[in-house]
Amino acid sequence: MDHSVLYIDLFLENNIFASNFPGRGKTVEIQNQTEQIVDRGFESEIQNTLQTEQNIRLTSAELANLWAAYMNSSLKKSFMKFFLVKVEDTEIRSVMEYALHVAEKHLQILSEIYKLEKHPIPRGFTDQDVNLDAPSLFSDTFILTFVEYMAEIRLNGYVTALPMAARTDIREYFTESLASAAELYNRVSSVLLSKGVYIRAPYIPVPDHVDFVKKQNFMTGFLGKRRPISSIEISHIFSRIKTSSLRKSLFTGFSQVAKSEQVRQYMIRGREIAEKHIQILSSVMTENGLPVTMSWESGVLDSTIPPFSDRLMMQKIRNHNVVEMANYGKAITVLLRHDLSVTFVRLLAEFGNYTKDGVNILIDNGWLEEPPQAVNPDSLKKNMH
């Protein structure tokens, strides 16, 4: 029997029990005890599996996803350490503590894998990338929404990584990682709902019968009468507006504290792009009589003292850019109205250019850490002579 699955099930079941009885004195104690059981059990399980599979080499896909997981956990740890010092709300603080706990545990497990593989441990991010003495840059509620998006990013990352893994220990790691990312997302969502600040997608009427598309004009968008947008199209448009609103505020905060003028201008440009995307996609919603999501402008405080290094902020934005490009690409495949798909293609192209310029800034400043790479065939030829 795969004991790691039992640990994950126990972890989720206990947290569901705790969340169903808010205010009980044992809630935090139950959660902490459960997490300790998971940590001890999963760490023991993966150590045993590592010992039995240490002669099986990691594939390129496994190396890539382990490296990405380490970098993202390192980045998350840096942000969570700062947020924990600044957050005042006890419910939100509990979520931050869990997020930091998961990041540190993942870094520990990944380091063990690297040591056994005799693979250099990535540098990632360190205490030098965070100034814990700096004033808070965002409100508690905005920080919670920020972590919600971080959890969403990791859910997507682990869902992609798991099917690429062959070795048992690596599959176990990504299975546990997926479960912890889902748990973090659920905890964030529960607190957002309890505080009445969860941003819901618009409501539409429930259909009274099943129907099928009968004419090609279902896809009409430029010429002729346009049909109302479908629930699938609403979901993608809404999600991109919601994320662009968060990114707009994030760019505002980062531009206030960037040390480099080059980084500051990049953040300002990102804010302008986010505002443009909000306006374009919001117009589609209003044309269909649907509400547009709230803004997070009030979530940015007026501090100009940098809490994060320029490198950390640029890497965070790069991660967002990569995920958003994938989200826009995913939307293009399901948007059936021609005008909507063309709009998303155009916005995706703009994202591509912006992302490329961000990577150039990282490279120019020596901030972009290299992932594992294949051997250069030319260098092999030279060594043979």
Mean pLDDT of the chain: 86
Q: How many residues does the chain have?
A: 385
Band (pLDDT 50/70/90 cuts) for residue 379 is low
Q: Which tokens hold the place of 121?
A: 């441990």
Kindly state whether residues 66 and 149 are assigned to the same domain.
yes
How far, in Å, are 2, 61, 222, 227, 229 from residue 334 at the CA level? 37, 28, 18, 16, 12
Is 307 a member of any domain? yes
Going by the DSSP 8-state scheme, the letter that residue 42 receives in this structure is: H
pLDDT exceeds cutoff 70 at 45: no
Residue with more model confidence, 223 or 110:
110
Percent of the chain residues topping a pLDDT of 90: 72
262 and 340 both lie in a single domain: yes
Instruction: Note the pLDDT of residue 36.
Output: 54
Neighbours of 322 (CB within 10 A): 16
pTM for the full model? Answer: 0.84
CATH code for the domain of 308: 1.20.1260.10
Q: Is the pLDDT of residue 42 over 60?
A: no
Residue 9's pLDDT band (boundaries 50, 70, 90)? very low
Q: For residue 254, give its domain range.
A: 218-364
Q: Is residue 57 part of a domain?
A: yes
Residues 238 and 92 in one domain: no
- Model pLDDT, residue 155: 94
Identify the DSSP state of 26.
T
Q: Which secondary structure element, helix H or strand E, spans residue 329, and what is its range? A: helix 310-334
Predicted confidence at residue 13, as pLDDT, reads 40
- Is residue 272, in this structure, part of any structural domain at all? yes
Residue found by looking up tokens 């896809």 in the block: 219
| Predicted pLDDT of residue 6 | 38
Please report which confidence band the pLDDT of residue 22 belongs to, taking 50, 70 and 90 as the band edges: very low
